[in-house]
Amino acid sequence: MTLVDIFTLVVLCTSVEVIGSRLSVSGNHFMLNGEHVFLSGGNLPWIQYAYDFGNNQWAGVKTSMENEMKLLRDAGGNTLRLWIHIQGESSPQFDLNGYVTATDRDGTFIDDFKDMLDLAQSYDILVIPTLWNAAVPQDFENRLNGLIVNPEKLASYIQVVLNPLVQAVKAHPALAAWDVFNEPEGMLDTEVSDLDQCFDTTALNDSGAGWAGKKYNYQQILRFVNWQVDAIKQEDPEALVTVGVWNAKSSTDNFHLANHYSDDCLIKAGNKSLGVLDFYEFHSYSWKCEFDHLAPFKHQWKDYGISKPILIGEFNQMEGGGWTTNQLFDYVYKDGYAGALSWDLVNNGTDQRAGIAFIKNYTGNGKIDIDI
């Protein structure tokens, strides 16, 4: 074998090992392929609520989801946030005592999830899967409720579902980040007095939190988050993880409030050192056509005193303080946030995609046109 042959073989072998760049964090923004990027897109968030993945359900929704991805890409967007288990309606599989026994009844869940990511990659779309939801009052005792209040049940979910899922998709370039929990404050007990500000919720009383039932304290919610984030990072150290909070009020130490999702609070609640967030995700809706005083649309990202990126993960024109969708996207981009994902592409797609298209050529706070 000549030196040329050896060199050619080395190059060929090396090229087999090369994998695509993955989304990462640098300071207050995201990086992809060595470039500062801005996440612009929307929430899908489902085709069939809680019945998109597992149990041979994906085949029935794939065409509709592909159409949404194509429309998003055509509008100039680059990111989708979509919901997975929600509150355990069809995945994972629970036994009668609330322990997780399988990913789903028919065993298609992980393959469905992987195929969804493959589809997203074909359209250069990044995906943020949101595992659980607390925005509606339907978490029956032996489903999501059990995972939140019982550490042993949570451990069964992590072992049976989360670890294999993360292991199966951890190298996928279309996987932007994991969103563990949508709006935990929907079921937050806002009348808990505690000497530790991580767990004291009295400052959030009359804030709007607890609209879906005041069932859980922050020790339970933060443990639920901490354990899953830690499990994800044990399997995939490069993974990015967040939580989609209903309002900035729960995630800042400024304005006489407490950042309940700080590294310190999460570790204190769950005792797992890897279980901390890589970036923050705020949702923002107006009430009676007015944004509250902490809304991102009244502040720059730096006003919250957070050293990590802030993604505005839900907003829309209907509850946008009288702003147009174009104005909302424009503001998020220009005021230093790391991304803007509107709600929602299925029911308000024409309006949402107009806002996405409005900023698609912006520069100065990150590239939007990406290749993955």
What pLDDT was estimated at residue 21? 85
Please identify which of the residues 68, 185, 281, 314 carries the catalytic annotation: 314
pLDDT tens-digit readout, 182-201: 999 999 999 999 999 999 99
Question: Within its chain, how far is the Cα of 135 from the centroid?
Answer: 14
pLDDT at residue 11 is higher than 80: no
What mean pLDDT is reported for the chain? 94
The whole-angstrom separation of Cα 1 and Cα 24 is 41
What pLDDT was estimated at residue 106? 98
Residues 68/345, Cβ–Cβ less than 8 Å:
yes
Residue 83's beta-bridge partner residues?
A: 130
Q: Which CATH class is domain 38-358?
A: alpha beta
Per-residue pLDDT, averaged over 239-262, amounts to 98
The whole-angstrom separation of Cα 183 and Cα 144 is 14
Crossing angle for the helix pair 218-235 and 263-270, nearest 10 degrees?
100
Residues 184/225, Cβ–Cβ less than 8 Å:
yes
Label residue 5 by pLDDT band (50, 70, 90). very low
Question: Within its chain, how far is the Cα of 53 from the centroid?
Answer: 17
Q: What is the DSSP string of 284-316?
A: ---BTTB--TT-GGGS-GGGG--SS-EEEEE--
Residues 186/208, Cβ–Cβ less than 8 Å:
no
Tokens representing 272 are 């797992």
The whole-angstrom separation of Cα 312 and Cα 277 is 15
Residues 77/40, Cβ–Cβ less than 8 Å:
yes
pLDDT at residue 10 is higher than 70: no
As to burial, measured by CB atoms within 10 angstroms (0-12 exposed, 13-18 middle, 19+ buried), residue 368 is buried
pLDDT tens-digit readout, 85-107: 999 999 999 999 999 999 999 99
What pLDDT was estimated at residue 12? 35
Q: DSSP assignment, residue 346?
A: T
Please identify which of the residues 68, 183, 185, 235 carries the catalytic annotation: 183
What pLDDT was estimated at residue 9? 38
Residues 147/161, Cβ–Cβ less than 8 Å:
no
Q: DSSP assignment, residue 101?
A: E
Residues 176/240, Cβ–Cβ less than 8 Å:
yes
Tokens representing 133 are 């939801």
Per-residue pLDDT, averaged over 177-184, amounts to 98
Tokens representing 216 are 């859980």
Label residue 140 by pLDDT band (50, 70, 90). confident
Question: Catalytic site residue 17?
Answer: no
Cβ atoms within 10 Å of 297's Cβ, excluding its own: 18
Whether the bond between 344 and the residue before it is cis, its omega within 30 degrees of 0, is yes
Question: Catalytic site residue 314?
Answer: yes
pLDDT at residue 75 is higher than 70: yes
The domain ranges of the chain are 38-358
Q: Name residue 39's amino acid.
A: L
Of 7-16, 102-111, 312-321, where does mean pLDDT reach its minimum? Answer: 7-16
Per-residue pLDDT, averaged over 305-330, amounts to 98
Please report, in angstroms and rounded to a whole number, the separation of the first and last CA atoms in the chain. Answer: 37
Q: What percentage of the chain has pLDDT greater than the value 90?
A: 94
pLDDT tens-digit readout, 224-243: 999 999 999 999 999 999 99
Label residue 19 by pLDDT band (50, 70, 90). very low
The whole-angstrom separation of Cα 258 and Cα 260 is 6
Tokens representing 292 are 């509250």
Residues 281/308, Cβ–Cβ less than 8 Å:
no
